[in-house]
Structures are given as structure tokens and as C-alpha cells.
Amino acid sequence: MATQVAVADALSQADLGRPSVGFWGDVSSRIRGDVTTMIALSILGAMIALALGADLLSDHVFGVSYSKQDLLRTFERPSFANEPAFWLGADNLGRSEVVRLLYGARVSLFIGIFAALVQLTLGLAVGVSAGYFRGRWDDIAVWLISTLNGIPTLYLLIIVGLLFRLDPISLVILIGLLGWTGEANLARGQTFAWRERDFVVAARTLGASPFRIMIRHIVPNILPLMIVTGMLTIGGVILAESALSYLGFGIQPPVPSWGNMLTGATGFYYKGPHLIVVPGIAISLTVLCLYLIGDGMRDALDPRLRGSQAVKRISRRRPPAVGPR
Amino acid sequence: MGRYVARRLVQAIPTLFGIMLLTFLLTRLSPTDPVQLMLAGQSDLTLEDRQELLHELGLDKALPLQFVDFAWDVVRLDFGNSFYYHRPAIQLIAERIPNTAQLAIAGFVVAALIGIPLGIIAALFRGRLLDHGIRITSVLASAVPDFFLGLLFVLFLGVQLRWFPIGSMNVIGEGCGLCWDRAWHMVGPVLLYANGGLAVYPRYLRTEMLEILAQDYIRTARSKGLRERIVVGGHALRNALIPVVTLFGGILTIVLSGSVIIEQIFSWPGLGRLLFEAASAKDYPVVTAAVLVGGFLLVLSYILRDIAYAWVDPRIKVGK
């Protein structure tokens, strides 16, 4: 008896002294302990800050706009001996490469983050509802997914880019509308597993509406996995947008994007190799950071997952199991 | 097996229908006027001529009827003549496919030869320096865009060091199918395709190997005294390679998207470059044909993959 009281005392004191950190608190403390992820996060944070501050920086530090041409200084090589605007050299029209890089970051990151958000939302909505209701709606969802997967995304984007003049906002919508299938598949598969759990059955027995079950019981459980996928999606979208703009069907000049800064790069082999290297490194570094953050978050969300089922589910992207069941 | 194949084929029909519908809607929704595109530059077009042309093209019918026409043409593989080459679009595509296949097949053989051993090594040295090195390489390979890597290859190895040609299939004037000259021209693009595989194979095989090495039958194999080489090479590897079949089936997605970029950089006359040039020149019949043919090939490759998977892993059929 006495021991029990003592244990209870000790427990309550322990509770008082240190409130439970909770799921997300635990995750964030794990991430803080992970050097690689923290480095990636700070680089990405710095890039977002620079992109947001592009106006201020170009006005006050570099003193030129992204479309200001100086035809006497075309293909100027990068050097810190130059004035700040030409630290990274000048492009084929004598525009400041560093300022264009900043504005390009704005476009690329904006499209990456928001298109990934659209994809995630759509994927969750379609995937969870299809997995939960099954039947007819699931058949339709699977049909939509297999149709969109049946055409390479780059081809679809090229057609759309050919038909419409794309700006960042329409690209966000388009990439979001065309690319949500991976997320939907993941959410659908997860929902199949969660909907049979005892607590979901219990909620249904108590009369919870399907909407409530999905929002309160299923979505919170698959959200961590979806957030990890979301990080990888941002990276994927940035790659897709830059490829599209590189080919000339995405963001149109004079608005700079990291992709369209490389358009016509084959003409720069001799005169300005830095025009290939600078934007290329910017894209690679950003995507690398996002992938590393995704990896780190995955480990932090559940260290037991390392090398086990759920990791495979993300990295593998199994084909959709098509057909009625 | 026969029933599974049949069911898989029937399931593909709605998908093919969806692909046609999507392509049709996208092209018809466009704000561009087809007549103006076809007769660009001829300004003496009267309103009657216009109507007549629209009628001839069937574009004055109701949208659903137009779709029926479109679907019928697609089924007969008749995509119309290229605006630019004035030849049937499907013919242009058929000519280019072997060139693309040549590169892609070589690329994925290289990728598999490098990627699969790397994945096994990473799994065997789990948590050690070698494992981390391979993982970082693999993440890096997926983070660097194809076009950047391709441009770097041309810039450093082609233009500055002059080790490799910077584009096209052969030295001009010397056509040959399989010779050293062709092989030399293939190095760059093949490495780019291989890079795409390098981003996937090692990771994939590593997880698969780790999972299998933790299985009971591996412990049994070890405890009955088999040599480690046989346990890993025989028992584990053979099972780890099963899902690689799925990867080979999904490769076509990478090939179709990748070919647009890779062939554009190396001026390789394949399907991707055709699509790029047609899109740049607003040659709609060729673009539509390329997208639809690409889509059909993709769906076919998914079916083949599923069948192959069911063939090597009988559990798939039982499960369904």
C-alpha cells in the first residue's frame, strides 16, 4: 500500500515537473537533435527569407531590377571584385544574375510550396473518401488516378503550357490538379488500413457521421506520413516546374524562374558557363534540402519506421491496385 | 494466370478512354483557333472559307460528336498530318521510337548494373560509412535536375575537355547503327538515364534486402550452417530482386518524361525531341499523337509489369 502511494506521488511529481511533450513536441525535439536535417532546414529557411526579401535586396543592396539590362556587360563573369549586382555575373542581356536568382527563388519556391499544398489537399480528400466509402466512388477515384498516371506529367504540362500562357498562379493550380495521384494513392491505402481499426468501428457504432470519422479519426493518423510525402512533393514540383520552364513552356520571360534562366543555355557553353552553373546549383541545393528534410522528418515521426513497412510505402510508390474489391 | 491477364486487360479500357477524353478536352478547351493555326499567314480568308474548313474538319459539330470522331481516329491511329512535315504524325512517331528505345534500354542496363549492387552493399553495411555514402549519392542523384546534369556533362566533358561529342547520333555524314562512333555519342545521354535509375534502385534494394535479412528463413539458413555468401547471394538476393521487376515496368514513365529533356540537350532524334520540337512549332497533330501514343505505351507497360509481378510472385494472384 505504502509503496503504491509512493509510486503515485513520484509519478504525479514527475508529471508536474515535466509536462508531457506530446506527439509534435517529441517530433520537433527529435528533429532538433538531427544535424543533417537542421542544416537542410536552415539553408531552406535562408532561401525562403532571401526570396521574400527579393524586393528589398534588389532596391537597397544591388540597386537594379531583374529586368534591367546593361548591354555593355553581357556575359560578365562572376567575381566579388564587381559591384554587388554583378557578384554572380550577368546574363546574355547583361542583367544581374544574382537579382534574377532571387526573384527566380520566389517563383520556384512559391510554385513548389503551394502546388504541393494543392496536391496534398486534393490527394487527402480523394484518397481518404475513396478509401472510406469504397464502392462506386472508389471506382471513380481509381479511374481518375489511373488516367492521370497514364500520361507522363511532363507531357500533360507541355500540352497545357502550349495552349495557355502560364503564370505562377495558374501553374500552381495546374500542377496541383494534375499531380495529386501519388498522394491520393497513399492516403487511400492508409485509409483502408485505419478504417477497420477498433476505435473507428467504435466511433461508427456510437453514431459518428462518416465526415466526422474521416476528419477526427482517420486524417490525424495519416497526416504525419502525408507531411513527409509533402516535403518530397515540394521538391518534385520544383523539379517539374524548372524542367517545364527550361523547355520554354512554363514561366515566360522576362519573369525569371530558375528553370527559364537556363532556357537557351546551350548557347552559353562558350560565353557564359556560369549562367548554367548558378541556377542549376540553386535548384539542386533546394531540392536536396527538401529531400533531406523529408528523410529527417520521417525518421523523427517514428524512429521504428526506419527500414520498415511505412518507409517503403513512401519511397516505393507501388502501382495503384486497380479494380473493384 | 490467363484470367488474371484478361482481367488486367479489361481494366485498362476505362483508363485508355480516360486518357483520350483528357487529351481531347485539353486540346478543345484551348483558346487557340485551329483554323488560324492551320492557315497561319493567309489573311485573305473569308468567313465562308472559314466555315467550310471548320465543317471539313468536323469542328462545327457538337462536342460529344467531335469526341466520337476523335476517338474513332485515335483507334485507327490516324492523328492527321503534321502541320510542319506534311506527313502523317503517327509515321513520324514510329520512326523516332527505335532511337529513343536504344538510349533508354542502354541507360537502364547501366543503371541496374550500378544501382542494384550499390543497394545490396548499402544493406550489408547498414549504418556504416559506406551505407551513408551510398544513401547520400542516391538522394543527390534524385535532387539534381536531369537538364542541369546534362548541361554540365556537355559543358565540362564536351565543350571544355572535348572528350565527348556534344550532340546528335553520329558524326555528320557517317550513318551507322552500331559502331564506336554511335557508342561514343551515346555515353552522355545513357549516363543521364542511368542517373534516373541511380536515384531509385539503391534505396529500393536496400530496404528490400534489410527486410528480407530480418526474416525467419534467413535465420534458419544461417543456423543450419550455410555460408554467409550463400545466405546473402542465394536466399536473400533472389527474393529481394522480385520487386525490381515492378521497377523495370514503371521505367517507361521515366523514359518518356526523361527523353524530352535528355534528347533536347544532346540533340538526339528520338520521341522526346520530336515532342519538344512539335510543341515549340505548335504542331498540334504531332503533339496529340505523341501524348496519346506515350500514354498507351505507358498503360501497356503497367499491364506488363503487373503480369510479370504476378508471374514471379504467386502471392499477388492469390491475394486478389
**Distance set, CA B16 to CA A163, B25, B203 (Å):** 23, 14, 32
Shared domain for B158 and B43, answered yes or no, is no
Chain B, nearest residue to A240 by Cα = B145
Alpha carbon distance A75, B146 (integer Å): 24
User: How many residue pairs bridge chain A and chain B with CB atoms within 8 Å of each other?
Assistant: 171
Of B24, B43, B75, which residue constitutes the final position of a domain? Answer: B75
Closest CB to B14: pick one of A143, A273, A291.
Answer: A143
Is pLDDT at B162 greater than 60 in this prediction? yes
**Interchain proximity A155–B275, CB inside 8 Å:** yes
**Range of lowest pLDDT (A171-175, A209-213, B171-175, B224-228):** B171-175
Chain A, nearest residue to B201 by Cα = A316
Residues of A in contact with B206 (CB under 8 A): 307
CB of A182 within 8 Å of a chain B CB? The answer is: no
Q: Is B88 domain-assigned?
A: no
Residues of B in contact with A241 (CB under 8 A): none
Alpha carbon distance B295, A148 (integer Å): 9
Predicted TM-score of the model (pTM):
0.84
- Best-predicted range by mean pLDDT (A201-215, A245-259, B105-119): A201-215
Is pLDDT at B44 greater than 80 in this prediction? no
Domain ranges across chain A: 24-309
Alpha carbon distance A68, A30 (integer Å): 46
Separation of first and last alpha carbons in chain B: 12
| Closest among A319, A283, A167 to B299, alpha carbons compared | A319
Shared domain for B200 and B295, answered yes or no, is yes
**How many domains does chain B contain in total?**
2
Shared domain for B150 and B110, answered yes or no, is yes
Shared domain for B249 and B201, answered yes or no, is yes
Shared domain for B127 and B243, answered yes or no, is yes
Average pLDDT over residues A5-24: 63
Shared domain for B56 and B154, answered yes or no, is no
Shared domain for B57 and B125, answered yes or no, is no
Alpha carbon distance B92, B81 (integer Å): 10
Shared domain for B24 and B137, answered yes or no, is no
CATH number for the domain that contains residue B134: 1.10.3720.10
Is pLDDT at A101 greater than 60 in this prediction? yes
The interface predicted TM-score of the complex, written ipTM, equals 0.84
Domain of residue B172 covers: 96-312
Shared domain for B264 and B192, answered yes or no, is yes
**Interchain proximity B211–A307, CB inside 8 Å:** yes
Shared domain for B106 and B63, answered yes or no, is no
Query: What pLDDT sits at residue A310?
Result: 40
Closest CB to A288: pick one of B27, B139, B294.
Answer: B139
Q: Is B221 domain-assigned?
A: yes
Query: What pLDDT sits at residue B177?
Result: 59
Residues of A in contact with B25 (CB under 8 A): none
Shared domain for B218 and B142, answered yes or no, is yes
Cβ within 8 Å of residue B136, ≥6 positions away: none
Is pLDDT at B202 greater than 90 in this prediction? no
Is pLDDT at B115 greater than 60 in this prediction? yes
Residues of B in contact with A276 (CB under 8 A): 148, 151-152, 155
Alpha carbon distance B123, A86 (integer Å): 47
A24-309 CATH: 1.10.3720.10
Apex A252 CA angle, A247 and A254, nearest 5:
125
**Interchain proximity B31–A283, CB inside 8 Å:** no
Give the tens place of pLDDT for each residue, B275-315.
988 888 888 888 888 889 888 888 888 888 888 877 777 66
Q: How confident is the model at residue B81 (pLDDT cuts 50, 70, 90)?
A: confident
All cell numbers assigned to A263: 532556357
φ and ψ at residue B285, rounded to 5 degrees: -55, -40
| Closest among B299, B282, B255, B275 to B96, alpha carbons compared | B275
Is pLDDT at A303 greater than 70 in this prediction? no
CB B285 within 8 A of CB B85: no
Q: Is B90 domain-assigned?
A: no
Alpha carbon distance A200, A222 (integer Å): 14
Is pLDDT at A131 greater than 80 in this prediction? yes
The residue that leads in pLDDT, B284 or B59, is B284
Is pLDDT at A123 greater than 90 in this prediction? yes
Is pLDDT at A212 greater than 60 in this prediction? yes
